[in-house]
Structure 1
Amino acid sequence: MVIEILKQHTLLIAEDDADTLVEITQYFGHYFRLVFQAKNGKQALEVFEKEQIDVVLLDISMPYINGLEVAKAIRKTHPNTQIVILSAHNESPFLLKAIEIGLLNYVVKPLNRQKAKDLLIKMAQNFKQNHQIFINSSVTYNYDDKVLILQGKNPINLSKNEALLLEAMLANKNQILSVDKIINIVYLDDKTRLDYTGCIKTLISTLKHKSSDLPIHNKYGLGYVLKI
């Protein structure tokens, strides 16, 4: 279950010790779809802003910007991102600061196999519990409630077919989905329509009307792609 859930997500590891960074990346790389690296706090924020990151693993003591400050900066704009702090400290002041940020976990070094395993399980459980995915800084999708969550607005309900389409695109994000494949997914049990291609166009249009921030793009003659 753990690997099935985490393989849908991306991880950023920020650690200034080169050997530790390689070791953690090799272990966690087996579980995540993509793993990004950063050697200091400044680089961590640059990677986070550039890439689509679902989980962040931060060493607390890094050059330029420490892990807690990086976590604070991320939390300001991305409330759903899972953040884990690695630290040699277990004193109360550090723990209290970490709690205030809303971390998934605060792990005292060294990060051995058992701690890493427990951490992976907690990450997967958190994704399963929330069952929602961050699309971009403006839009999050909740699988259980079939709603779009927009910053500062009430959740927007999706129809059955809108949800099927969006979930198919999320499962194949950054890949072109052909119209035929979309038809087979969305209208598998509906053989009553004459113009399925027109229905897909209408469905895409209504989705983008509900949130203009949904990054759905038409690739002429090929299909559609959700770029995140």
Structure 2
Amino acid sequence: MMYQILIVDDEKAERDVIHFLLNKYNFPFQIKEAANGKEALDVLKKSSVDLLITDVKMPFIDGIELVTCVRKLFPKIEIIFFSGHDDFSYVKKALILGADNYILKPVKPSEFKETMEKVSENLQTYKTEQEDKKFNEEFIKKHILYRIINQTPIEMLEKEHAYLNFSFLNDYNRMLLIHSDQSFWNTLSERENLQFDEEISKIIPNTTYDLIHLNPSQVILLFKDNPNKLISYRQLGENIHQQLYKVYGINCFFSVSEEMKTKDSIFQTYNQLDQYLDDRFFHPHTYVYPIDSITTTTRSFMAEDEALIINIENAIQQMDTNKLKEQINQLIHKHEKHMGTSHVYIRFLFSKLFQNLAKVLPSYQSEKINKEIECLYTYTHFKDIKHSITKITQQVVQKLNEEKNSSNNNIRIVQQYIHDHIDVDLSLELLAEKVYLSPGYLSDRFRQETGFGINKYIKNVRMAKTKELLRDTNRKVNDISKAVGYNSVSYFIKNFREHYGVSPKKYREMNKTEDGME
């Protein structure tokens, strides 16, 4: 590692001696020089220096004054005095002021070499400590972002990390969500994950961002660039998609946010981006979202429709069949009367509604839903769309009425199955089969009943079981990884560290220490 050194002496011959000895012993320093304390301060204010070597007696500003100023401006800099025997009283004063060492004139090469070796070792130690500190701070910050996106309140995190300044959250102004339907990041080793991160950095050079591996299917890029910077984030998504397909052979989907104003908008922004990706069901060959709105349909008009769709989703989750029928009738009535709306938009809107309704019905598998939606896109009259929606609404109302009394029991069955089979791959489809529900409907009901998404609930159970095994057994981390359902040990360790802030090995060591104290 190369360090910066500043040699200050009013005699050039003395500076040349130090210069010569540094080169002779191959010390890793880039050398700057100054003829007096005033020049030295000018150099220090323009560029950073790791080590200052200064004479005591100099014109304008002597060594004592220089050190006094430097310690105020640059408290971490290493300082060495060199001076004659007659000036040793000054050297003692300099040491009191904060100089780290001294060299007597005339300089003895062996003493100089010994002193510089100590200084180089100090500099290396300090640099390593600073790098470790920076790495730990970056890790903590990413861990905090990960938890915010997973619905942990910022106020709670501020209490947990009272030593940290949370203003860094305001640095982010854009978010890009990368989604893979193949749970791609679960298949990569730790080294391959690092290679993936490097691949992203090649695609978007000269751009400041943080990358967060959120789960096996999703990665988030949080950008810190000036929001006025000339950069098209949608085009960025297209570029990343093309490169990832070229390198890894996978088609990822990208969801691009508007500008984020405050730290409180990070979680809401992620939710919005995740919702945008719902539309990929209708556009399997579109990879960047949100899709541009139909220009003939006003934003307010579409906002009303979106509100009705959300109300319908809520009614399904709450099993409120009266509200469900009321909101669907309102949506149908609105578009029966509004003849100027784009036919493409109408088909898109009611296809989305059909998909939400079909999630309730186990008989509607993906193939059947696709066929029904294809029909919706071929209808030439709105009455045909209305008939299709009315028919499936009746089926959904009947199904919801049947399940009002049994839904809670289904959730308990799923929870117990998760706890009993934590060592196997627990897909949403598998769990839905156990209680004879559609995957989408089970997902919605599970979140409503427990307050967690199924994937997060599974992860929490796995992490809790991991803590138990680390604490109460001597099983190897590799064995524990398999016992809680992770095939990739590196991915298991990464998940545990993200969840608890320490590695499994470190957790076990800390727990044993605590047990020993008890």
Question: What TM-score does the superposition give when structure 1 sets the normalisation length?
Answer: 0.60
1:148-194 deviations in Å (ceiling 9; x for gaps): 8xxxxxxx8221898xxxxxxxxxxxxxxxxxxxxxxxx84417959
More RCO (CA 8 Å, sep 6+): 1
Q: Is the CA contact 2:103–2:112 (under 8 Å) kept in the aligned structure 1?
A: no
1:123-142 map, 5 Å:
123-132=119-128, 142=130
Pairwise CA distance, 1:84: 0.5
Q: Secondary structure at the match of 1:84?
A: strand
Equivalent-residue separation in structure 2 for 1:73 and 1:48 (angstroms): 11
| Structure showing greater Rg | 2
Q: Which amino acid aligns with 1:17?
A: E
1:35 and 1:75 map into 2 onto residues whose CA distance is 20
Between 1:84-93 and 1:103-112, the stretch displaced more is: 84-93
Please show how residues 79-94 of structure 1 align to structure 2 within 5 Å. Answer: 79-89=75-85, 93-94=89-90
- Which structure dedicates a bigger proportion of its chain to helix? 2
Equivalent residue number for residue 100 of structure 1: 96
| 2:209 paired residue among 178, 201, 206 | 201
Residue 16 (structure 2) pairs with residue 22 (structure 1): yes
Which letter does structure 1 place at the counterpart of 2:209?
Answer: K
The amino acid that maps onto 1:66 is: D
Cα distance between partner residues in 2 of 1:37 and 1:192 = 42
Which of the residues 34, 42, 49 maps onto 1:46? 42
Q: What is aligned with 1:165? A: none
Partner letter of residue 134 of structure 2?
V
Q: What is the one-letter code of the residue matched to 1:105?
A: N
- The two structures have a TM-score, normalised by structure 2, of 0.28
Alpha-carbon offset, residue 101 of structure 1: 1.8
Which residue of structure 2 aligns with residue 157 of structure 1?
137
Which deviates further from its counterpart, 18-27 or 55-64?
18-27
The Cα of 1:106 is off from its aligned counterpart by 1.9
Show the counterpart of 1:65: 61
* 1:119-143 per-position Cα deviation (integer Å, ceiling 9, x unaligned): 21111121233335xxxxxxxx712
Q: 8 Å contact 1:90–1:108 — kept in the other structure?
A: no
Call closer, same or farther: CA 1:206–1:62 in 2, change over 3 Å. farther
Question: What is the CA distance between 1:207 and its match in structure 2?
Answer: 10
- Structure 2 distance, partners of 1:71, 1:37, is 16
Distance in 1, matches of 2:127 and 2:140, equals 17
Tell me if 1:190 matches 2:193.
Answer: yes
**2-structure distance, mates of 1:192, 1:56:** 40
Distance 1:15 1:105 in 2: 16
Structure 1 residue ranges without an equivalent (≥5):
1-6, 133-140, 149-155, 163-186, 210-217, 221-228
Q: If each structure's strand is expressed as a fraction of its own residues, which one has the higher value?
A: 1
Aligned Cα RMSD in Å?
Answer: 3.7
Q: Distance in 1 between matches of 2:223 and 2:113?
A: 39
* Number of the residue aligned with 1:10: 4
SS of match in other structure, 2:193: coil
Runs of at least 4 residues off by over 3 Å: 89-93, 191-195, 197-200, 205-209
For 1:40 and 1:192, locate their aligned partners in 2 and report how far apart those are by CA, in whole Å. Answer: 50
Contact kept in structure 2, 1:11 and 1:32, CA below 8 Å: no
**Structure 2: how far apart are the matches of 1:160 and 1:189?**
22
Change (3 A) 1:43 1:158: same
**1:147 corresponds to which of 113, 134, 144:** 134
Deviation of 1:208 after TM superposition, in Å, equals: 6.7
- Would the alpha carbon gap of residues 96 and 23 (structure 1) be closer, same or farther in structure 2, given more than 3 Å must change? closer
Contact map agreement 2:50 2:123 (CA 8 A) in 1: no
Post-superposition offset of 1:105: 0.2
